[in-house]
Structure 1
Amino acid sequence: MPETPAVGRRERKKAATRQAIADAALELFLEHGYERVSVRDVAEKADVSTTTLFAHFPGKEALVFDREAEVEASLTAAVRERPPGQDVVEALRAHALTSWTRMASDPRRDRFTELVDGTPALREYWERMWMRHASALGAVIARELGREADDLACAALARFVLEVPALAASGHDPRAAVEAVFDLLTHGWQASQQP
């Protein structure tokens, strides 16, 4: 089994700086509102230059969605790196249960959601980002199943799966909500579920 290379000091320092910038940005945005905080304010709070900030983030909106690349990578890895014999939906269920139920319990989640929903630029960025994630996930699912990259069923599955965090967060028991949604994906809509 190949060994995972150790993360070097330089990479750790870059990651720590990036995290400090993201943490400073979120704190300021939640406290003062997205529109009232400048990139310079964030850089000052994180004790970095604006040049350093832009070396880590392409723009102001990206400061809010600092885990964008990590989220997409973990989604596609859940499908690509699933254990032999595990079906795609079950791999995505396992991913959702470990990743998204934890997000639903974050004490800042409601304030973060209000920030995004109440800021048109962030809402638009989020929608574009989520569509990129859906496209990447749909393509990986199609590749894993030996289908064309633009397979409609794979694209639909990806989009539905990406709605799970919002559905899970709307209830009192995120874990049960994730299970219910994935049960629906696995078994389909049953007539007995109708009112």
Structure 2
Amino acid sequence: MPDSPTVGRRERKKAATRQAIADAALELFLEHGFERVSVRDIAERADVSTTTLFAHFPSKEALVFDREEEVEAALTAAVRERPEGQGVVEALRAHALRSWVQLASDPRLVRFTELVDQTPALREYGERMWMRHADALSTAIAEELGREPDDLACSALARFVLQVPTLAKGRRDPRATVETVFDLLTRGWQSQLDAEGAGTDSLAS
């Protein structure tokens, strides 16, 4: 049964409030530095109460990584919802080209990266999120291929894929960088499959 117009408006309002808080936080962090900005400062800039802020974000660090749940959901969906006949590596290549090339070319990425690199609390939080994404992606790959959840090859692929945005950042041609990395991954996966005596259509083709 479809949502009522009232529910739809409520969800849109919640999303708009969340985005306004995240935007205000990033603006203040870039202007003054993470440590010098308080949660109250952010709430005032976004014109919300601190209670409302914490209803949307569990911590100050989470304000910087406000899209991480979407990032993780998109990664796993790229694997689980790939077209019939498309291998896992090629599905992840398509996702990277669709989602990460534009990001790597965004000039705001430099300031964001500097903010994270210069703030120990954000570096630590970012590393935890990276590992969470790697675990989720590895699990999705293993499930799709009928392998054990802790399969080493699936874990390695997930971690290599998540390095692609870092490798593409600042490159003159991010798209070519993504293609090069996935060409290498495809050949590596084929070698791994050949060594196991597995079929060639489950991953790369």
Q: TM-score range by the shorter chain?
A: over 0.9
How high is the TM-score relative to the length of structure 2?
0.88
Aligned twin of 1:97? 97
Aligned twin of 1:8? 8
Q: Kindly state the Cα deviation for residue 4 of structure 1 after the two structures are TM-superposed.
A: 10
AA in 1 matched with 2:97: L
AA in 2 matched with 1:99: S
Aligned twin of 1:156? 156
Q: Kindly state the Cα deviation for residue 22 of structure 1 after the two structures are TM-superposed.
A: 0.3
- Shift in CA distance, 51/119, structure 1 to aligned 2, threshold 3 Å: same
Q: Kindly state the Cα deviation for residue 107 of structure 1 after the two structures are TM-superposed.
A: 2.0
Aligned twin of 1:193? none
Q: Kindly state the Cα deviation for residue 5 of structure 1 after the two structures are TM-superposed.
A: 9.7
CA contact (8 A) 2:105 2:170 kept: no
Q: How does 1:83-94 map to 2 (within 5 A)?
A: 83-94=83-94
Runs of 4 or more above 6 Å deviation: 3-7
Unaligned runs of 5+ in 2: 190-205
Cα separation, 1, equivalents of 2:43 and 2:136: 31
Aligned twin of 1:24? 24
Cα separation, 1, equivalents of 2:114 and 2:4: 40
Cα RMSD of the aligned pairs, angstroms, is 1.8
Aligned twin of 1:192? none
168-177 vs 115-124, greater mean Cα deviation:
168-177
Percent identity of paired positions between Structure 1 and Structure 2: 81
Cα separation, 1, equivalents of 2:22 and 2:81: 29
Cα separation, 1, equivalents of 2:29 and 2:106: 17
Unaligned runs of 5+ in 1: 190-195
Q: Kindly state the Cα deviation for residue 80 of structure 1 after the two structures are TM-superposed.
A: 0.3
- Shift in CA distance, 173/159, structure 1 to aligned 2, threshold 3 Å: same
Q: Identify the structure with bigger relative contact order (alpha carbons < 8 Å, sequence gap 6+).
A: 2
Aligned twin of 2:124? 124
Secondary structure of the residue aligned to 2:146 is coil
Q: How does 1:21-100 map to 2 (within 5 A)?
A: 21-100=21-100
Q: Kindly state the Cα deviation for residue 102 of structure 1 after the two structures are TM-superposed.
A: 1.3
